[in-house]
């Protein structure tokens, strides 16, 4: 497994590989890896000759400085895990590498409202930072395929929009959420959960499944959302939102004719840790 910190070294290596017509898959991460990240890497390994993973805790997507400071960093363990599944290349840039002072890396495009709802409403500026770092990493790595997890559902829609608007030559592959044995969506933030709250955090997935059953039974969307918020409001648990949306544009679905893709998205504080999850209620990705 090759480790690169400098853009020039990484690009020299990848250019040589591309000359040999080898496809490049890319998995961007912020570290604190878990089985969900490895699932993305394994998918890329199965579909490409070269797989690149990056580890970079991006400061521009944190709207809360204390959240950035608390974000878990486990580089040694991360590298062991990536080597263990056979990842070919790991890119480990510094902040100055991604955001050099002599380069304007800001991205200003119209996301068609995708960045204004759900996470966008709760975390102002978050998706501007996501777009900025993803565009920069794609320009550096220049992969054929970009692998993203379904768990960050809104984020993958925004990245797809970014790629379409900027006409970047990369295809997005969305991989289903990896879950713990009890159903909790795997997340780097799970490491920060209070041990007493961890078993109860499965509440998110149970509520999402309940919403799916209620929608299938014909219950109106507003009533399902109200029920879900009541389920998620418990001691030590405080929901920010539970929204059932059109999976293509994140707008409320037409109650008269449900769209082909309907997704429930939620964000819940479990003590001092903010968890997000989603579930496709109708259709498939």
201 & 149 share domain: no
Of 150, 175, 200, the one marking the end of a domain is 175
Of 175, 196, 230, the one marking the end of a domain is 175
8 & 134 share domain: yes
253 & 163 share domain: no
- Decide if 260 is inside a domain: yes
- Decide if 180 is inside a domain: no
* pLDDT attached to residue 68: 84
Q: Is 37 a catalytic residue?
A: yes
Q: What is the pTM of this model?
A: 0.95
pLDDT tens, 174-224? 999 999 999 999 998 998 999 999 999 999 999 999 999 999 999 999 999
Residue 125 belongs to domain spanning:
2-175
214 & 171 share domain: no
CATH number of 243's domain: 3.30.1300.10
Domain count, the chain: 2
- Decide if 283 is inside a domain: no
* pLDDT attached to residue 74: 92
* pLDDT attached to residue 5: 98
74 & 128 share domain: yes
* pLDDT attached to residue 21: 85
202 & 126 share domain: no
* pLDDT attached to residue 89: 98
206 & 118 share domain: no
* 3-class secondary structure per residue, the chain: CEEECCHHHHHHHHHHHHHCCCCEEEEEECCCCCHHHHHHHHHHHHHCCEEEEEECCCHHHCCCHHHHHHCCCCHHHHHHHHHHHCCCEEECCCHHHHCCCCCCCCCCCCCCCCCCCCHHHHCCCHHHHHHHHHHHHHHHHCCCEEEEECCCHHHHHHHHHHHHHHCCCCEEEEECCCECCCCCECCHHHHHCCCCCCHHHHHHHHHHHHHHHHHHCCCCHHHHHHHHHHHHCECCEEEEEEEEEECCCCCCCCCCCCCCCEEEEEEEEECCEEEEEEEEEECCC
Q: Which parts of the chain sit beneath pLDDT 50?
A: none
63 & 195 share domain: no
256 & 211 share domain: yes
139 & 209 share domain: no
29 & 77 share domain: yes
Catalytic residue, candidates 34, 37, 126, 144: 37
- Decide if 182 is inside a domain: no
What percentage of the chain has pLDDT greater than the value 70?
Answer: 100
171 & 33 share domain: yes
- Decide if 284 is inside a domain: no
């Amino acid at each position: 497994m090759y480790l690169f910190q400098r853009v020039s070294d990484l690009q020299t290596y990848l250019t040589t590989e591309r000359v040999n017509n080898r496809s490049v898959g890319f998995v961007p991460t912020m570290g604190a890896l878990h089985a969900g990240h490895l699932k993305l890497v394994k998918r890329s390994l199965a579909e490409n000759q070269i797989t690149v993973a990056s580890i970079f805790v991006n400061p521009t997507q944190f709207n809360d400085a204390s959240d950035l400071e608390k974000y878990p960093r486990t580089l040694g363990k991360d590298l062991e895990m990536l080597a263990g599944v056979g990842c070919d290349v790991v890119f480990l840039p510094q902040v100055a590498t991604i955001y050099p002072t002599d380069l304007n890396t800001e991205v200003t495009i119209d996301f068609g409202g995708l960045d204004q709802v759900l996470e966008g409403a709760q975390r102002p500026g978050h998706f501007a930072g996501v777009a900025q770092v993803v565009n920069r990493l794609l320009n550096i790595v220049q992969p054929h395929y970009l692998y993203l997890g379904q768990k960050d559902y809104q984020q993958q829609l925004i990245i797809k929009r970014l790629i379409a608007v900027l006409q970047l030559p990369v295809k997005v592959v969305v991989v289903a959420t990896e879950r713990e044995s009890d159903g909790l969506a795997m997340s780097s933030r799970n490491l920060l959960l209070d041990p007493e709250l961890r078993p109860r955090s499965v509440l998110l997935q149970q509520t999402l499944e309940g919403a799916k059953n209620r929608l299938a039974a014909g219950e109106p969307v507003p009533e399902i959302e109200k029920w879900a918020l009541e389920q998620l409001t418990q001691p030590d648990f405080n929901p920010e939102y539970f929204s059932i949306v059109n999976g293509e544009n994140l707008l409320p679905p037409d109650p008269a004719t449900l769209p082909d893709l309907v997704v429930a998205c939620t964000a819940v504080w479990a003590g001092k840790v903010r968890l997000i999850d989603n579930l496709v209620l109708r259709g498939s990705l």
